[in-house]
Structures are given as C-alpha cells and as structure tokens.
Amino acid sequence: MYVDDLNIIGHKQDIDEACKHLKLEFEFKDLGKTKFCLGLQLEHLSTRIFVPQSAYVQKVFERFNMDKVYPSKTPIFIRSLGLNTDPFRPQDEG
C-alpha cells in the first residue's frame, strides 16, 4: 500500500511515540509540521494551530476570475445598540 500523506495530530510526546511504532512496520519520511492541508494554510503557534484564510480566498477568487478585480468602498451605517434595545439579543424568560 502506498500512502501519499498522513497527518498525525497530538502532543509532541504522543506523535513521537506513534512515529516510533509506525517505523517498525512501514518505511516513511517525517516531513515535519503540515503547512497546507486540503487547500488550507496552517500556522503552528505555541498553544494552537491557526488557519488563516487568505490563501483559500485567493484560490476562490482565481477560480471565479475575480483575482483581477479592484475593491471599492461601500458606505456602512454604524449604530450602537444597548443591551436592552438590541432586538436580536435573547430576552430573559423571567
């Protein structure tokens, strides 16, 4: 069986142990942390994995021939609602 890619997710100690067991049965190369998976960019931070969407958005723009368009400003009406005047805020049943 040939497998192109395998992502192992977990704590470093668990990943190292899993790799040790896999190497007993299979030949493989550890390519390090995944930078792209399923078209999404991955950034490994100390406490989490960050998934910025800029690369994905760029691909979507290219697919629909919108990568050459220019953005335009759209005026937005901004208002601030208080806690009691927000019509979309859940109301207490009490």
The answer to whether the beta carbons of residues 59 and 67 sit under 8 Å apart is no
Looking up tokens 């697919």 gives: 63
Q: Is the pTM of this model over 0.85?
A: no
Q: How far lies 37's CA from each of 34, 50, 52, 92, in Å?
A: 7, 12, 12, 43
**In this predicted model, what pLDDT tens digit does every residue of 11-56 receive, in sequence order?**
889 999 999 998 898 888 888 888 888 878 888 888 888 888 888 8
